[in-house]
Amino acid sequence: MTNIVKLWIRNFSNSRRTLKRLTAQELLKFIGKNGYYYLPVFKDIRKNNKLLKLNFAAFLMFPVHCFYRKMNLFGVVMMILLFLTTEAKILLSHFAEQLGINDDMLMTAYIISTALSLAIDIFVLMFFNYFYFKSCIKRINMIKQHYSNESYDRVLARIEAAGRPGIFYAVAFSLCAAIAIIFVFQLINHMLGIGNLPLNTLIG
């Protein structure tokens, strides 16, 4: 855990140096809606080294908010982790007898799995702003480097288009990602000989 924290701090320091080459206008163009909310948040993260900054929209509207903000990789990874906690319940239910797991042990495993699911949600709540901050810096700089031969106004237009939030995009991406992940897990379950399980096993 200590190494992970050190890595985050080192990456954050690099982000601070990179941010000096960005302008508020570029960030506002990329962020789009609610840009004036995120700018002070990003400033607080950068100046005060605050990695933890709560984002209740990301928590309450997960994973749609991730894709709304074009945080596709972050959203997909968090979705996979959440589905893994459900998959763990399915596997334990199916193989409990073979593994010698009694009802009490199975209930404890369910509680742990549910706690892990909640921990992932809390992670999104606490760290979404930090990862969004990193994503903004990275993508804006990539656009500026790739289109360095174009006029600044044209580059700003590309930055705005790359980060522009979209409800339809977010909902569609969420549904497609969920369907793809469910399909993969269903395929794995089929290969393991696991048939349809009661609904309360999947969501309990």
Rounded to whole angstroms, the Cα distance separating 144 from 26 reads 10
* DSSP secondary structure code for residue 150 in this structure: S
Low-confidence ranges of the chain (pLDDT < 50): 1-2, 4-9, 12-19, 197-204
**What's the pTM value of the predicted model, to 2 decimals?**
0.79
Tokens of 163: 């980060």
Residue 124 near residue 97 (C-beta atoms within 8 A) = no
Residues 6+ apart with CB under 8 A from 22: 137, 140, 141
CA distance 33 to 120: 26
Predicted pLDDT of residue 104: 84
Q: How far are the Cα atoms of 3, 18, 50 from residue 13, in angstroms, in the given order?
A: 15, 9, 12
Per-residue pLDDT at 189: 85
Q: What is the pLDDT of residue 194?
A: 79
Helices (H), the chain: 2-19, 24-31, 35-48, 56-60, 64-68, 72-99, 103-146, 152-163, 167-191, 199-203
DSSP letter string, 10-26: HHHHHHHHHHTTS-HHH
Determine the Cα–Cα distance for residues 21 and 17; give it in Å rounded to an integer.
8
Tell me: the pLDDT tens digits for 117-147? 999 999 999 999 999 999 999 999 999 999 9
48-83 as b/e: b if 16+ CB within 10 A: eeebebebebbbeebbbbbbbbbbbebbbebbeebb
pLDDT at 192: 82
pLDDT recorded at residue 200: 46
- Which pLDDT belongs to residue 5? 40
- Residue 8 has a pLDDT of 46
pLDDT at 198: 46
